[in-house]
A and B are shown apart, each in its own frame.
Chain A
């Protein structure tokens, strides 16, 4: 790797450091408790996966650039400067063994938000040219084609036509002045097109004014997962432009948790201005409709259901009660897995891990954590609300020979609505 790339990476790390990071790094007591909170450690027993260790490149830069002792020992030639080799050595720790799930950030006794720091470390890694192939590819496709999976408008249009025929309804596209602009994730278009039909059916029954946009339909943001803010900003800007052009009151994030994080919480900060519209998660919208009595349930699910909280929706996004209200509306037998809710264990595939083939084996290994949570309640079906979680959960269930059907929360609701 060239020296110029390393210098870019070093500077990117330097720029990321703010008061919270300085406070976190000043406070770490090396107690090791974050290791026990991270599924990459608990399922492998390998100490290198200790969360705080993953930010070591960032810590070294902070120490040498922003602390009295660090600057002194650097000047005296006593400290070892960060090298490109260090970044190479850390690449797999920063990308393959962290889903940015934030569970470690809930446990650290001194209060370190470690996931926040790992996210920032990725900015330096990517700038220095140390991002994984899979994520680079996805990011390039997102920029050139418009979606990380390479899904183009005609594919979406085909799904729309198909859905309209199947349910005999109209799916609004590019309609100006509606209340909501509904965003999707490529996985929903390609792997779970039922999602579009479910939304359309629910919104039809509840009489919601909404539209899709032909110019911006993809809400996931691989720029964030890889750690390149300019690209992330460009992807967010597309959504902002579409929302402003269509003059909608709010943008609905798809089920996908990282998409929600990207547009709801990082979006305005990436593009550098406040949005003139609201951003809401689909589960927030559905729960509001429920509270207003606009969802009429025809029959209730009798199977024993449990719910997997996607990290970016629950623990990091604050949407915890809504899914529970909604499941209880359509199901008679809802049970919680141990540690469900804000302390739920990650599925193992978030934060770009699923896009990074190099991490495949590790990702499936960590599924053992989800298995033990599931074994504790033995459900008839597992409900979740993130297509990325869902693909990985399906793979995990198969790998571990577990015969548990997987349901999307939005689809489950649509399936239990009355037709009138």
Chain B
């Protein structure tokens, strides 16, 4: 396979397969949750499930002061790489062009040098998160193969993307091809690893808030 053929393949058939697996996977995971159902609560309500659920969906993004004091590193590093990922994925102009081709909508991006710097910050944050995971006794105990796999497939597109943008090492088209391939790997694993929290979290927060809201409790 030549460079050009490789690029053609990752952009075409491989991308379509990855996209299909990702979307189908998301549907499957949502169904797996929703089909479990939930019993009607027979206790007399003191508040609203919906209000509690919606409130917790956004409120849980902001930790309370004591939690921040106790888990500062996790919260800061976590926020940095999440915001970094958002900027890199959605505000890089070439990415926006891909979204436009796929969904027909586009939006304004950020200058490339800012995205480039954000990429470096995000990579550093992810490395810090990994060191923390290996060193901290609680995290080490909780972690399994899937946690490290999820970490790897998240950082790979950042690294390959940065290399491709800065033309380090291999030819431009090979680097782009590798970058797209690493994104496809991420897409395929996205619904089936803990990365699925990106979409199931809405349900988790809603249920937590709804259970509390029904009782008229703040969550």
On A, residues with C-beta under 8 Å from B are 17-24, 26-33, 35-37, 41-42, 47-48, 50, 52-53, 66-69, 105-113, 116, 264-269, 272-275, 278-279, 315-318, 320, 338-339, 342-343
Contact A20 B42 (CB under 8 A): no
Please tell me if B136 contacts chain A, counting CB pairs below 8 Å: yes
A-contact bits for B130-169, CB 8 A (1 contact / 0 none): 0000001111111100010000000000000000000000
Contact B37 A53 (CB under 8 A): no
**Given A26-B204, A27-B196, A27-B197, do A343 and B64 touch, yes or no (CB 8 Å)?**
yes
**Given A22-B32, A343-B66, do A273 and B42 touch, yes or no (CB 8 Å)?**
yes
**Given A26-B204, A27-B200, A269-B43, do A21 and B36 touch, yes or no (CB 8 Å)?**
yes
A-contact bits for B108-139, CB 8 A (1 contact / 0 none): 00000000000000000000000000001111
**Closest-CB distance, A348 to chain B (whole angstroms):** 18
**Closest-CB distance, A262 to chain B (whole angstroms):** 11
Please tell me if B101 contacts chain A, counting CB pairs below 8 Å: no
Residue of chain B at shortest CB distance from A271: B42
Contact A110 B204 (CB under 8 A): yes
**Closest-CB distance, B86 to chain A (whole angstroms):** 16
Given contacts A26-B32, A318-B216, 18 further A-B contacts (CB under 8 A): A18-B36, A23-B207, A24-B208, A26-B29, A30-B194, A31-B74, A31-B78, A42-B70, A48-B141, A106-B219, A109-B63, A111-B204, A113-B208, A113-B211, A264-B43, A265-B43, A267-B43, A316-B215
Contact B204 A318 (CB under 8 A): no
Residue of chain B at shortest CB distance from A105: B208
Tally chain B residues at the interface, Cβ within 8 Å.
58
Residue of B42, B74, B216 near A33 (CB, 8 A) is B74
Residue from A27, A106, A315 whose CB has the most chain B CB atoms within 10 Å? A27
Task: Classify the interface of chain B: helix, strand, loop or mixed.
Answer: helix
**Given A19-B37, A113-B211, do A37 and B67 touch, yes or no (CB 8 Å)?**
yes
On B, residues with C-beta under 8 Å from A are 28-29, 32-39, 41-44, 46-47, 56-57, 60-61, 63-64, 66-67, 70-71, 74-75, 78, 136-143, 147, 192, 194, 196-197, 200-201, 203-209, 211-212, 215-219
Residues of A within 8 A of B215 (CB): 265, 316-318
**Closest-CB distance, B135 to chain A (whole angstroms):** 12
A33 to B34, CA, bound (A): 26
Residue of B66, B70, B71, B142 near A53 (CB, 8 A) is B142
Contact A26 B200 (CB under 8 A): yes
**Closest-CB distance, B27 to chain A (whole angstroms):** 11
